[in-house]
Amino acid sequence: MTVELVDDGEKLLSQPTVAFDFVVASHLLEHTQDPIASLGNWLRVIKLGGVLFLAVPNKTETFDRDRPVTGSLAHLLRDHEEGPDISRRQHFEEWVRLVNKMP
């Protein structure tokens, strides 16, 4: 199998605007640093009438099920407007405490 494309899946900077009939993002949205920007970038590369297909996990069945839902819309907007660095440490600490089960 030949790799045709390597890019930052959140930004798709090497991809032209309005270039694709569809984008598939399977189990990616929940890992992005700025979900709002990622959605915008995925939509940017899709042709008019194209499809953005997203698959996200069932939270109750994942390895990180003990983590709270990632904040409110206000949290997502703040990460988008001020940059994800503002909440990165909080996310890492939460991961260590609730997924790795370390105090």
Contacts of residue 61, Cβ cutoff 8 Å, sequence gap at least 6: none
Q: Could you read off the pLDDT of 34-43 as tens digits, one per residue?
A: 999 999 999 9
Residue in this structure with the two tokens 């994800």, named with its chain if needed: 84
> What is the per-residue pLDDT across 29-79, written as a single tens digit (0 to 9) for each?
988 999 999 999 999 999 999 999 999 999 888 888 888 877 689 989 999
* Residues 103, 88: Cα–Cα separation, whole Å: 18
CA dist., res. 24 & res. 56, Å (int): 11
Are 28 and 1 contacting, i.e. CB atoms less than 8 angstroms apart? Answer: no
Task: Tell me if 64 sits within 8 A of 99, measured CB to CB.
Answer: yes
